[in-house]
Structure 1
Amino acid sequence: MTVTEVVLRCLIVLVGFLVLPLLIGQTEHKLMAHMQGRLGPMYAGGFHGWAQLVADGVKFVQKEDVVPSAADKPVFRFAPALALASYLMALAVVPLGPVTWGANVPGSLVWVLAVGGIGTLGTLMAGWSSGNKYSLLGGLRAAAQLISYELPLILSCASFAMAAGSLSLVAIGHAWTPWWLIWQLPGALVFLVAATAELQRPPFDMPVADSELVFGPYTEYTGLRFAFFLLAEYAGIVVMSLLLAVLWLGGWTGPFDHQIGVLWTLLKGFGIALVILWMRMSWPRLREDQLQRIAWLWLVPLALLQIAITAAGVVLMSR
């Protein structure tokens, strides 16, 4: 690969990273406006409130960047960048087509899971460094949530890797068959729930419960730093949705996939993102004990069952 090709791939990944999360954020505004009767987001700019995203961006830019006097200032300033950069590194190895990716590494599935978990460390850093008791409590809740849901997330991905016989997302995409829609369905459900909890999205948004913790780890953040945390959340939705689309839905597989394979991956990922957004408008926030019960009493056993089913299927098919 030449230097020009490397630079071009980096630019494409960067542009996609900047555009796709904003598209998900705009879609969430419109879904909430329709499902909850919120009229405000439908007026900005005229047709269907197309300028609402622009108005939000201008608002964040105009706000003052405030750093609390009691905060650990270097950690406080660095936390939003870490939360955002982790998903950029994850998106770089998610394949959009049979030959379309930012970087093709042998263990790309492990890479995505490893660097994707770093984003939660940004939340921990924000909660600890803010010098605010509500932020600290939110950070501790985020840590407990990360520990609880990282295990079922990894176990569900292990099932897909076993089925494909590879840790490469490209190889998993090529090994996919329509039979996976049924065979790997329990693992897909575990992945979807665990990924939603990892992203701290409703109904798993206990670390940022506004009625209890003001806004949790992000209480002291203002302006662009706060906007970076929001953008990181939407970037996480993009990464997890595309990852599930490649693992369970075959990614680029579809009619005319050699010509429009990238479009199939994006459409499948967008459909999964819509489900994650829909849960915010439809489900109430869980209690902390309910959060832990779902992880350890439901998701972990279900993920282990999926691994057992996959192992048996691989052995039978190899004979």
Structure 2
Amino acid sequence: MLSIENITHSIDVWLYGTFNPTAALLLESLIVGLCAITLFAVLGLVLVLMERKVSAYMQIRLGPNRVGPGGALQTVADTLKLAMKEGLTPDGADKFLFNLAPFMVIVVAMLILVPVAFAKGTQIWDINIGVLYISAVSSLSVIGILMAGWASNNKYSLLGAMRSGAQIVSYELSAGLSIISIVTLTGSLRISDIIDSQQDGWWLFKGHIPAMISFVIFIIAVTAETNRAPFDLAEAESELTAGFHTEYSGMKFALFFLAEYVNIFIVCAIAATLFLGGWMPLHIGHWTAFNHAMDYIPSSLWFIGKTFFLIFVIMWFRWTFPRLRIDQLLSLEWKYLLPLSLFNLLLMTLISIKGWHF
């Protein structure tokens, strides 16, 4: 059966059979880097088109339907437009930091991909602190946003960046506690161990009600961390023009735009890994025949299906709920989600110690 895991294994065997180990490792690193860049480009095109089609469906309209079959090439046309636009740097801006900020944001997004398992045996680096690595590196993105807001020499940009900083730092707490609740069940920070622990069922179902609460809190928190509506106070058009990237144009703006959608994919991939088994097929206890039937579906399709389902849910949020005020946004985290996350973690710890999970 043709699948990603078979392709990657074949390439690995060919490289190490043809070249010496050092050259094979360098070539593998080069291939991985090119694949990551290609993945980012494809995700940007696909997710922007998906966003427009989902919003059109929610609002009972057609969405993009002129450029290409069914509007499929609309995002390609938009990319060409952004590539041909001149990148301007405003007077009074800190030119070095202004130009560095968009690259900082996109590089952080690339680094987070490292421990993500896209399919069985398809992972850049199965680091033994994978979950901790993701939590630590993802927090660096706020530095690029603050850098962009301050370096732009624009009050709207600075206000947007400060809002984004407060928002990301606040909601990271609830997201982190939701992650810890799954780590408590598995007893490991390694991504492959977390996936393997869901061979007989996904943690969303095996972990009882606390796992479901953690899942809901995680989805809400990462929606806020990625500055998505209804938590898009950092880019509130009616108040801050375009927030922290008001002064950006051309490919620098495109990098911020791309990073937003790539981050949506990454957080949904992490949610799918922690709560829905990642690439693991749907297995139910000792239902041997059912489990064997599920194994016929390639692991890469399981991963993509779960991830894009969660992306659809986050897009559904955007076109359903109105934008919150900044005080409502912070009150939701500090007064409700954080206390609930702490109590839920204690409950999950009790369930793990007592072995009450399935």
TM-score by length of 2: 0.84
- Cα separation, partners in 2 of 1:120 and 1:258, compared to 1, 3 Å: farther
Matches within 5 A, 1:4-43: 4-37=27-60, 39=62, 41-43=64-66
Q: Does 1:294 align with 2:332?
A: yes
- Counterpart of 2:184, as a letter, is M
Tell which deviates more after alignment, 142-151 or 6-15: 6-15
Q: In 1, distance between residues paired with 2:201 and 2:131? A: 21
Tell which deviates more after alignment, 94-103 or 2-11: 2-11
Q: In 1, distance between residues paired with 2:192 and 2:313? A: 24
2:247 paired residue among 212, 217, 220: 220
- Indicate if the aligned counterparts of 1:98 and 1:170 stay in contact, CA closer than 8 A: no
Q: CA deviation at 1:257?
A: 3.9
1:261 paired residue among 283, 287, 299: 299
* Equivalent position of 1:119 in the other structure: 141
Q: CA deviation at 1:256?
A: 4.3
Q: In 2, distance between residues paired with 1:93 and 1:314? A: 25
Q: Does 1:133 align with 2:155?
A: yes
2:308 paired residue among 259, 270, 283: 270
Q: In 2, distance between residues paired with 1:135 and 1:41? A: 30
- Counterpart of 1:297, as a letter, is K
Q: Does 1:96 align with 2:118?
A: yes
- Cα separation, partners in 2 of 1:60 and 1:37, compared to 1, 3 Å: farther
Tell which deviates more after alignment, 115-124 or 100-109: 115-124
* Equivalent position of 1:107 in the other structure: 129
- Indicate if the aligned counterparts of 2:53 and 2:62 stay in contact, CA closer than 8 A: no
Q: In 2, distance between residues paired with 1:20 and 1:213? A: 27
Structure 1 residues without counterparts, runs of 5 or longer: none
* Equivalent position of 2:212 in the other structure: 185
2:238 paired residue among 205, 211, 214: 211
Q: Give secondary structure in 2 for the equivalent of 1:42.
A: coil
Q: Give secondary structure in 2 for the equivalent of 1:96.
A: strand
* Equivalent position of 1:316 in the other structure: 354
* Equivalent position of 2:4 in the other structure: none
Q: Give secondary structure in 1 for the equivalent of 2:131.
A: helix
Per-residue displacement from partner, 1:150-177 (whole Å, max 9, x unpaired)? 1111111111111110011111111124
Q: In 1, distance between residues paired with 2:28 and 2:297? A: 20
Per-residue displacement from partner, 1:290-309 (whole Å, max 9, x unpaired)? 10111012211221122112
Q: Give secondary structure in 1 for the equivalent of 2:298.
A: helix
Q: In 1, distance between residues paired with 2:52 and 2:303? A: 23
Q: In 1, distance between residues paired with 2:263 and 2:174? A: 17
Larger radius of gyration: 2
Q: Percent identity?
A: 38
Q: Does 1:65 align with 2:92?
A: no
Q: Does 1:149 align with 2:168?
A: no
- Counterpart of 1:236, as a letter, is N
Tell which deviates more after alignment, 109-118 or 223-232: 109-118
Q: In 2, distance between residues paired with 1:57 and 1:189? A: 34
TM-score by length of 1: 0.94
Q: CA deviation at 1:48?
A: 1.2
Q: CA deviation at 1:38?
A: 5.3
Q: In 1, distance between residues paired with 2:183 and 2:110? A: 23
Q: In 1, distance between residues paired with 2:162 and 2:134? A: 24
Q: In 2, distance between residues paired with 1:224 and 1:11? A: 19
- Indicate if the aligned counterparts of 1:44 and 1:50 stay in contact, CA closer than 8 A: yes
Q: Does 1:243 align with 2:281?
A: no
Matches within 5 A, 1:150-169: 150-169=172-191
Q: CA deviation at 1:237?
A: 0.4
Per-residue displacement from partner, 1:23-75 (whole Å, max 9, x unpaired)? 11221121123323555622222x21011011101111121110001111100
Q: Give secondary structure in 2 for the equivalent of 1:251.
A: coil
Structure 2 residues without counterparts, runs of 5 or longer: 1-20, 282-292
Q: In 2, distance between residues paired with 1:229 and 1:38? A: 28
Q: Give secondary structure in 2 for the equivalent of 1:246.
A: helix
Counting matched residue pairs gives 317
How much is the aligned-residue C-alpha RMSD, in angstroms? 1.8
* Equivalent position of 2:344 in the other structure: 306
